[in-house]
């Protein structure tokens, strides 16, 4: 079955809490092997290398990822460049405030994944009337509100769906097949 890595850096613990929710969502698909791993763990690069899909999370620091997360990709992942093409990736970020740069950080995280040849995605679905994760899941500080929590879970679930449908070649896991009644907001 598919392997999912939820790879994150966290200083305050907020992004770590998002990571756990993303993993919770990925586990909604039976049989997925889901691992939550901090970049400070010794085998983080190895876990990332072996994963079929990666959800990459960082605190939003100055509208960009943390320097530690960047160093991890520059140094520990760099040897694997040109050998990871075709993995599936997505992003999540916690900022100090709405408007604080979490979306822009997700975009920068997706840029790194794209540079490594990943296929990157966001969610079309609205999780609630006021929460979405179109370019990655975002939170202000710790994810507390149920809608923010669910946007993290839903991101992980979608990652598992793409890994299942495309890498494990199980078309029944495609979200348009799994959730045929998906509706547009207001529809």
Site for its own copies in 62-91 (CB under 8 A): 62-68, 70-71, 73-75, 81-83, 85-86, 88
Dist CA 178 CA 37 (whole Å): 28
Stretch near its own copies under the rule CB under 8 A, chosen from 2-10, 14-22, 35-43, 117-125: 117-125
Stretch near its own copies under the rule CB under 8 A, chosen from 16-24, 34-42, 43-51, 95-103: 95-103
Q: Does 16 bind its own copies (CB under 8 A)?
A: no
We find the least distance from the C-beta atom of residue 37 to its own copies, in angstroms, to be 19
Dist CA 153 CA 51 (whole Å): 18
Structure-block tokens of residue 121 = 């995605």
Q: Does 1 bind its own copies (CB under 8 A)?
A: no
> Between helices 14-26 and 146-162, what is the axis angle to 10°?
50
We find the least distance from the C-beta atom of residue 55 to its own copies, in angstroms, to be 14
Q: Does 2 bind its own copies (CB under 8 A)?
A: no
Backbone Cα Rg of the chain: 15
Residue 21 is given by DSSP the state H
Q: Does 112 bind its own copies (CB under 8 A)?
A: yes
We find the least distance from the C-beta atom of residue 142 to its own copies, in angstroms, to be 11
Strands 137-140 and 88-95: parallel
By CB under 8 A, the residues from 119 to 138 that bind its own copies are 119-126, 128-138
Dist CA 100 CA 106 (whole Å): 12
Which of 118, 143, 160, 164 is the binder for its own copies (CB under 8 A)? 118
The answer to whether the beta carbons of residues 37 and 43 sit under 8 Å apart is: yes
């Amino acid at each position: 079955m598919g392997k999912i890595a939820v790879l994150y850096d966290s200083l305050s613990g907020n992004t770590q809490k998002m990571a756990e929710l993303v993993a919770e969502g990925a586990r909604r698909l039976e049989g997925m092997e889901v691992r939550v791993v901090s970049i400070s763990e010794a085998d983080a690069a190895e876990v990332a290398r072996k994963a079929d899909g990666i959800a990459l999370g960082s605190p939003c620091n100055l509208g960009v990822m943390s320097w530690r997360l960047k160093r991890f990709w520059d140094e520990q992942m760099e040897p694997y460049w040109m050998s990871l093409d075709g993995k599936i990736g997505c992003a999540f970020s916690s900022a100090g405030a709405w408007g604080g740069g979490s979306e822009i950080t997700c975009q920068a995280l997706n840029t790194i994944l794209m540079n490594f040849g990943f296929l990157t995605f966001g969610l079309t679905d609205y999780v609630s009337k006021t929460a979405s994760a179109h370019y990655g899941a975002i939170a202000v500080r710790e994810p507390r509100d149920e809608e923010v929590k669910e946007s993290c879970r839903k991101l992980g679930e979608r990652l598992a769906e793409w890994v299942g449908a495309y890498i494990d070649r199980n078309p029944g896991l495609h979200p348009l097949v799994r959730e045929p009644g998906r509706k547009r907001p207001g529809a």
